[in-house]
Amino acid sequence: MENQAVLFSIAKLFDEADSILLTAAENLDGDALGCLLALEAYARAKGKDVLAVNSRPVCPLYDFLGASDRIKTEIPNRKYDLAIVCDTGDISMIGRLYEENRLFFETTPLLNIDHHGSCYGDICWMDPSYSAACDMVAEFLEYHGGISAITPEIANFLFLGILYDTGCYRNTNTLPSTFERSAKLLERWADYMKLIRNLYQSTPRSYAKIYWSALSSVFEVSGGKGVWTVVTLDDFQKNDVDPYALGNEFVNDYLRSVRADFVFLLKEDPEGGYRISFRSKNDGVDVRIIAAEFGGGGHKMAAGGRSLSPLSEIVAKIEDFAKNLP
């Protein structure tokens, strides 16, 4: 098995650490959240002093998991034997917690587990052949503790990440191995229907109103090669939704359904400017290229960035990108 060497190294690091800090990108999506919750539950069961943190609170859409309170928003002023960063292409994407705790991250042994992005840390397990980072975490847990390590609760957390990153098996990163992993998690009593109901059939009315407003004003670039919309701070305020609580669910499950080669969502940022989420629907369109123009990154089919420029300038730059597409 190709991963035996890296799994052995990770297991050794895990075994030697009495205290572990877990974190991920500040834009905590379903895959990153699933990784943190699964590793936190497993480490706790192994008697580790473990803490999961993120720069922002967990999106309320994931409250159904009953575990959001396990993710804290501050790093204590203390030493940890190991830090694990999951599903985060660049360490700066941790956001506020990274900026406030640079010395911690520079001096603490660091393990990076990701299926896209770049390598960093003392041990980097970055493998794009996996459909989700949760798939990688599942492999580690099974390697380290056997299949019994994956309890029903942990199986749910891991299944969440696979469903999220494959778009419920609709994305091109869905592979035969994805279904094999899913079957294993179902055998460990992952509650598939509970996840489906809550992820895809339980949108709060306040969110639905924002989605309706955004979809009622969809625009084109380059004759329809790309389509886009914007969610403003006024939209958030009118519908009493925290701007930071609106994750990628809208662009993944609604905007991407519109016919185009790629789509993008501009979300007005309370800190100024716009956060931009790109999704490709065509293997010939690599949205990492345009995301990089806005200081961001990601992977070929999904990427993001941020800009302080006016909306018109942002759209014009993306229009130029779209014009050069085949």
**Do 173 and 318 fall within a single domain?**
no
Residues 181 and 238 in one domain: no
52 and 160 part of one domain: yes
Among 177, 198, 219, give the residue marking a domain's end.
Answer: 198
**pLDDT (tens digit per residue) in 244-262:** 888 788 999 899 999 999 9
pLDDT attached to residue 246: 80
For the chain, how many structural domains are there in total?
2
pLDDT 10s digits, 61-104: 999 999 999 999 999 999 999 999 999 988 999 999 999 999 99
pLDDT at 2: 64
Look-up of token digits 């770049």: 118
Same domain, 90 and 181: yes
Q: Let me know whether 141 and 46 are in one domain.
A: yes
To 5 degrees, how large is the angle CA 113–CA 115–CA 118?
A: 75
Q: What angle do CA 68, 239, 212 make, to 5 degrees?
A: 100
Burial of 183 (0-12, 13-18, 19+ CB in 10 A): exposed
Report angle CA 208, 212, 215 to the nearest 5 degrees: 135
The residue behind tokens 């016919």 is 259
Copy the structure tokens of residue 198.
Answer: 């809550």
Q: Do 166 and 215 reside in the same domain of the chain?
A: no
Question: With b meaning 16 or more CB within 10 Å and e meaning fewer, what string describes 94-117?
Answer: bbebbeebeebbeebebbbbbbbb
Instruction: Based on the fold, state whether residues 20 and 50 are members of the same structural domain.
Output: yes
Q: Which of 157, 179, 198 is the last residue of a domain?
A: 198
Q: State the burial class of residue 304 (Cβ atoms within 10 Å of its Cβ: 0-12, 13-18, 19+).
A: buried
Residues 180, 182, 186: CA angle, nearest 5 degrees: 120
Q: Which of 198, 225, 245 is the last residue of a domain?
A: 198
pLDDT at 27: 87
166 and 93 co-located in one domain: yes
- The CATH code of the domain that includes 80 is 3.90.1640.10
What residue type is 93 in one-letter code?
A: M
Same domain flag for 301 and 169: no
The predicted-structure confidence for 176-229, as pLDDT tens digits, reads as follows: 999 999 999 999 999 999 999 999 999 999 999 999 999 999 999 999 999 999
- Residues 242 and 288 placed together within one structural domain of the fold: yes
Percent of the chain with pLDDT over 70: 99
Read off the pLDDT of residues 167-189 as tens digits, 9 standing for 90 and up: 999 888 899 999 999 999 999 99
266 class by beta-carbon count within 10 Å (0-12 exposed, 13-18 middle, 19+ buried):
buried
By residue range, what is the domain housing residue 40?
Answer: 4-198
Question: CB-based burial of residue 181 (10 Å sphere; 0-12 exposed, 13-18 middle, 19+ buried)?
Answer: buried
Q: What is the DSSP letter of 58?
A: P
Shared-domain flag, residues 190 and 48: yes
* Residue 1 scores a pLDDT above 50: no
In this structure, the answer to whether residues 15 and 44 fall within a common structural domain is yes
